[in-house]
Amino acid sequence: MYDLKEHVDCVHKEPQPCECEICGKVFTENSAMNRHINAIHKALRPYACEICGRNFAEFGHMKRHINCLHKKLRQYACDVCGRAFAQRSTMKKHIDAIHNGLGKRDCDICGEVFAREGDLKKHVDGVHRGLQMHTCVYCSKPFVHKRSLVRHVERSHNKSSEE
């Protein structure tokens, strides 16, 4: 029987954020998290890069990976500084953050300025909170978050995290 509590929970209750147990990414809807898990963490990746073997859930994602990482295609150039980007959306974020001053983030502790919230958080965690850093074994670049190191190794050194 459908009771009042069930109705309130289904219709009127604010959705609770859900977090991916694998990587910590937060979603507003459970269905979005499930799509993320299936696309990112499960073996539903039928498209393999012929160069490095990395698998993708969608053909377009694999093609973008090849163009950006292996072919180094950068077809979108910033009109202000000339920096080139593989994706138009990345170039727009660059222009907004760097040239238009949108979204500038100041560190409350030392005043250093960052274009992105994530960069400020990494700075505070690594510099001011002294969190344990994860260091790349190939180039010694430090990372606050293990998942950032894994992504760096895959993209910069063409290695999987298992190697």
pLDDT of residue 96: 80
Amino acid at 58: E
Report the 10 Å Cβ neighbour count for 148.
15
* Spatial contact of 126 and 142, defined as CB atoms under 8 Å apart: yes
Amino acid 132: pLDDT: 65
Q: Do domains 31-71 and 105-157 have the same CATH topology?
A: yes
For the chain, what are the domain ranges? 31-71, 73-103, 105-157
Express each pLDDT in 145-158 by its tens digit: 788 888 888 888 77
Question: Environment class of residue 4 by beta-carbon count within 10 Å: exposed (0-12), middle (13-18) or buried (19+)?
Answer: exposed
Burial of 16 (0-12, 13-18, 19+ CB in 10 A): exposed
Q: 105-157, which class in CATH? A: alpha beta
Question: What is the maximum alpha-carbon separation in the chain?
Answer: 64
CATH placement of domain 31-71: 3.30.160.60
